[in-house]
Every structure is written in C-alpha cells, then in structure tokens.
Amino acid sequence: MKKGQNKVVQVEPKRPVDVLFDKYAESHQDHTNKLIHWICVPLIVFSLLGLVWAIPFPHLEFLGKYNGFLNWASFLIAFSLYYYFILSPALSFLMLWVVGLMSYFIVQLEYWEAAGGPAFWLVCLVIFVIAWIGQFIGHKIEGKKPSFLEDVKFLLIGPIWLLHFICKKIGIRY
C-alpha cells in the first residue's frame, strides 16, 4: 500500500444459505447434470408431495368441506417452508408459491382418479422413480455422488438451489 492509502475492504461473511449452495454446487458443475436437475428436482418434489398427500389422514369434522386439504403433506410443507424461511425468507416465499402450484396439480390428479383415471399415488410413484433414475444418471455423467449422500439436508437444498438461480436472473435478493 502506498503512503496515505488506508483502504479497508470489508468482506461480508457468507450467509448459511450461500455456504449450503456452494457445497451443493460442488457436485453440480456439469451442464448436462444441471439440466437434468432442472427437470428432475421439481418432479421429485411434486411426486414426493403427492405420495405423502396420499397417506390416509384422520377425518377431522371441524374442517367441514376443507377436510381433504389437511393431510400429512401439510406437515411436510410446513416443516420445509420453516426450514427455508430460516435460510432465506425470500426463497421460502417463492417455494410457498411453487408448492401451492404443485398442490393444485395434485388435487387435479385426485379428480382424475375419481373420474376413473389411475390412482394418483401410482402416478406420483412412477414420476418419483423415473425422476430419481434421471438424477442418478446426471450424477453418473457428472462423476460425483449426490450431495445428500454426504448430508441428508441437501435433499431440501436442491429445490431452493434452483430457485436462487431464478432470483439472480431476475434481480431478486434472496
């Protein structure tokens, strides 16, 4: 430094969410693997939500006509959104919209089943299996194991990792 220059550069410490994203990104560098994740992660979230939704839930009379909308998936959603909120309120809010949209389509699958279509849990199971096969193919291409094999919390990080790219692209601070 030259005489008279007293520049102090403050470096912001990384937020926990950014540390998790950096760690998750280590095994998601290959373009093909990333593309597969953009397809398969939302399908896994959707199908898992549907599978948990399909688990029989006690009938609660006080809910009246809304009885079918409280189920085991409600607790999964609440837990996940709380975890996301701790990491990033903005990403939690965006995931609330994503999960709301997914829930709408799950209800549509229930209606389809009621009209004579396939069991919605079976549709979700098929999607779940195919999407996981896709994920493992992506990681085979990448040459790295999935992050969740090291730490199970990375199963929850994948969906918001994708959302954070959308936030960056449209200029939303997450």
pLDDT digits (tens, 9 = 90+) for 47-75: 999 999 999 988 888 888 877 778 999 99
CA distance 43 to 38: 9
The answer as to whether 151 is a domain residue is yes
133's CB contacts (< 8 A; 6+ apart) are none
Kindly calculate the radius of gyration of the chain based on its CA atoms and give it in whole angstroms. 20
Count the domains in the chain. Answer: 1
DSSP state of 120: H
Q: Specify if 118 maps to a domain.
A: yes
- Say what the pLDDT of residue 5 is: 66
98 or 10, higher pLDDT:
98
Highest averaged pLDDT of the listed ranges 128-132, 146-150, 152-156: 128-132
Residues 38-45: what's their mean pLDDT? 97
Cα pseudo-dihedral 12, 16, 21, 23, rounded to 10? 100
Indicate if the alpha-carbon torsion angle 131, 136, 141, 146 is positive or negative. Answer: positive
25 in a domain, yes or no? no
* Residue with more model confidence, 111 or 61: 111
Residue 148 domain flag: yes
